[in-house]
Amino acid sequence: MPQEFIQAPVGYLLVKVAARCNIDCSYCYWFRDKSVYAKPKLMSTAVRDQLLKRIEEQIVRHSLSEFSILLHGGEPMLWGIENFRHLAEECRSISGRTGGAFGLLLTTNGVLMDETWLDCFEQHGIRVSISIDGPAHIHDIHRRTFKGGPTHASVERAIRQLQTRRIPFGVLAVCNPAYHPREFVDFFTDIGINRFDIIFPDVTFEDDPPHIAQFYCDLFDIWLEANREERKLEIRSIESMLAGLLGGYSKTEAIGYGPQEVCTILSDGSMEPLDVLRIAGDGSTQTCFNIFDNTIEDIKDEPRWKAARHASFNLCDKCNKCQFFEACGGGYLPYRFSKQNGFDNPSAYCDDLYTIMSYMQSVLEKHVYLSKTSGNRVSIGEAVALARAPRLPRENLAAR
């Protein structure tokens, strides 16, 4: 049975400050919905200022101690450094007036990065994530310029600049199952990155994506080996799946049972549900809500946002019967969409997720144990088997 989840006030916005991009990635979900071309290329100062007003209002009304803004696109750096500076300075002013702390985050392809931008990130504490799909021969397959040229060298240069300035940053790659994950991991570790994520390619249930199970099982093996004696490698997707299998909680919205509550602000100030849902087709996320007529909290009354949230934890029959219901949570919501059934489908990656989690589960069983005060260890598999055995009284278990 699905659970209900109490809603906290909105404390996080995904803000599309640019509706266009400066590169032409073949797999981008954003431009699969042509209605994005009807949006302003860049967020205007009027929209920016109204957004800041709404954020301050939200913080005050709900006594929020923190608020996060993820600047996204398109390519958000197309918005220009002056807009970034102004936004950051205004956030600081709001923070001074309200006491609410701000997290300013940026996801970028890194192509426009230069020393001036680095100054801006450093000065305003903007936390940067760079998209790079591993080594050049994998990255440049999909992430190309509009003229068809490669982009890897520019992105790697941006990473080197961030490293030289010691500005902390994250790395996001998209899985390409045609290659062994060792190629991704070796590339990242060779350039000094040991904390990254490799995310699933965006699809809907109607797509027929290549299988990714072997890639992630191999990636898990690499992660396990690297972290055997000390913590050397952090791969968010792997750790989120593992956390779910171990009774913990996912670090990403793309995996694990829970509500999808992202509010996206577009360059014209309109308010929409999770941006990746655009992958469902033209205008599929459009709403009548915008930051001029609505408060941020109003998004909770918006029908499409509500439908997405409801679907995110009301899973299909197959998911409800699955042993990985909680660890998987049906996977990422967009991957469940079909025109015929809406979100009432398993993930397009359901078979892969099942294979990955079954494999992880079998490996975890060998590495996880109960540690007793006597110093004895009981393997987790044995502990569960013992607990299932009807003839063993509990007193005997405790004495083992």
329-368 residues in contact with other proteins (CB under 8 A) are 357, 361, 364-365, 367-368
Query: CB-wise, 68 or 150, nearer to other proteins?
Result: 68
156 counts as binding other proteins under rule CB under 8 A: no
CA dist., res. 124 & res. 113, Å (int): 16
Does 61 contact other proteins by CB under 8 A?
no
* Residues 285, 176: Cα–Cα separation, whole Å: 27
Sign of CA dihedral 251, 256, 258, 260: positive
Q: Which of residues 159-178 bind other proteins (CB under 8 A)?
A: 170-172
Q: Does 316 bind other proteins (CB under 8 A)?
A: no
Amino acid (one-letter) located at 53: K
Can you tell me which of 163, 252, 314, 338 binds other proteins, judged by CB under 8 A?
252
> Which two structure tokens, joined as six digits, stand for 5?
């989840």
Structure tokens at 192: 């000094």
Binding flag, residue 147, other proteins (CB under 8 A): no
Residue of 244, 269, 273, 330 interacting with other proteins (CB under 8 A): 244
- Residue nearer to other proteins on the CB measure, 150 or 386: 386
Residue 3 engages other proteins in binding (rule: CB under 8 A): yes
Q: What are phi and psi of 288, to 5 degrees?
A: -95, 5
Q: Which is nearer to other proteins, 38 or 387 (CB)?
A: 387
Structure tokens at 386: 């013992």
- State yes or no: residue 253 binds other proteins (CB under 8 A): yes
Stretch in the footprint of other proteins (CB under 8 A) among 81-89, 143-151, 339-347, 385-393:
385-393
247 binds other proteins (CB under 8 A): yes
Of the pair 37, 249, the CB lying nearest other proteins is at 249
- Binding residue count for other proteins, defined by CB under 8 A: 87
* Angle at 137 (CA atoms; ends 133, 141), nearest 5 degrees: 70
Q: What is the rounded CA–CA span in Å between residue 340 and residue 12?
A: 32
User: How far is it, in rounded angstroms, from Cα 18 to Cα 40?
Assistant: 8
Min. distance of Cβ 18 from other proteins in angstroms?
Answer: 14
* 284: contact with other proteins by CB under 8 A: no
CB of 248 to other proteins, least distance (A): 5
Query: Could you check whether the bond before residue 248 is cis, i.e. omega within 30 degrees of 0?
Result: no
Q: How far apart are CA 91 and CA 97, in angstroms?
A: 10
